[in-house]
Amino acid sequence: MDPSMTVRLRRPGTLPILREGQPLNGRLRRLPPPSFRGRSAPRRTTVGELKLPRTNLTLPFRRRPPIDGLSDDLNAIASWNLDHAPARRLVRDAFKDLQLQLDHCLFKLAPVGIRKEEWYERNSRGLMIFCKSWLPDPEVRIKGALFFSHGYGDTCTFFFEGIAEHLVGGGYAVYAIDHPGFGLSDGLHGYISNFDGLADNVIEQYEKIKERPEVRGLPCFLLGQSMGGAVALKVHLNRPYDWNGIVLVAPMCRIADDIKPPEAVIRSFNLMSRVMPTAKLYPAKDLSELALREPRKRDMAVYNVICYNKRMRLKTASELLRATTNLERQIGRVSSPLLILHGAADKVTDPSCSRFLYEKASSKDKTLRLYEDGYHCILEGEPDNRILTVLSDILGWLDARSSPRESRPMSADGNPVLGKVWKGH
């Protein structure tokens, strides 16, 4: 669960959230609401060359609350129906330059000279999956590769753009995909028909990327945020020896006892999800004030216009509940080196669940870091110094596991020195 799913588009007030001197709309051209008619796309296509498939579906033009300071054209584009990926791709194309102009430390302090590539891969289910890479300058020695799994409702093309660039500045190659049904990948927006399928898709896509010349022989790590943390844990349980370590940020790995629904409610809910799986009936809450601590950064999240922020679909909710229940039963099998990061004041995913994971995982190398007063989005919605501290903590942990084995601090039994529970400030 990330800033994209917790914030509905609303008027952000009069805060100057674009960097001074930057134009609002860039080279935006007026785009009409799309109408698509079906045609298959090639297996691999660069984003700039992607020919959008046609379908017999006409997407209705729906107004949503306007974003202050934007032109009528951009607000009209933000109002499109995003149930299907071709529309989401057009909307992202209209907003991508504007998003990078936001006055956020992730963007304004990002290093320069980063090589980026975007492409689509057709997966084994026939879905076109959006992929992206961020690489250091060719003269920089790459220490390792980091593979991202985003949270519910989110995409790897908004705040994670800045996160990836900071990690690349630390000497790492970074790769990301949008899960099916989210961001720029195919699939009904916000719909998860089978949670295991998300993990299978991550395995499938990242196995291909690991064959790229710049990745071969490098230590490889998974980075999972919120729901993406649950996906990362599922990937590890399916392939326990494929990764050199896992970084989890506010992971969704267990439902706290005080908020878990009664069994009778769960049974009724699962029955409804079988009858009308795509229905948007699950009650929606506006969690923006609980997810992003700084109001100024909370206001920026409205620019993530391809996020899924509607009511949760019934089958999606059922699958997330099933996934967390299954993960809780298997936590003892988690054996990978672990870095678990969580805001101590998180009200979206309970920090006690991260502590549960830390205590029950069988990993010999595990670290839990709790950030005092931190909310859910510790990489996006905290004060600048906190965000940079979290990024530094991630890089420090990766560095200790990416250097030659003989240079790492080792314990008497030949394992890396174990982490501790840290309380950050």
- Name the phi and psi angles at 224, rounded to 5: -120, 135
Any catalytic annotation for residue 137?
A: no
Nearest CA among 153, 167, 151 for reference residue 248: 151
Residue 346 appears among annotated catalytic residues: yes
Which residue among the candidates 226, 273, 354, 363 is catalytic per the annotation?
226
Strand extents, DSSP E, 318-394? 338-343, 366-371
As a whole number of angstroms, the distance between CA 18 and CA 99 comes to 9
For helices 384-402 and 159-169, the axis angle rounded to 10 degrees is: 50
Active-site pick, 288, 365, 376, 402: 376
What is the rounded distance in angstroms from the CA atom of residue 351 to the CA atom of residue 405? 32
Strand 44-46 and strand 115-122: the pairing is antiparallel
Please count the other Cβ atoms lying within 10 Å of the Cβ belonging to residue 43: 10
Whether 190 and 316 have beta carbons less than 8 Å apart is answered as: yes
Catalytic residue among 346, 350, 365, 393: 346
Angle in degrees, CA 305, 307, 308, rounded to 5: 125
Active site residue 376: yes
- The set of catalytic residues is 226, 346, 376
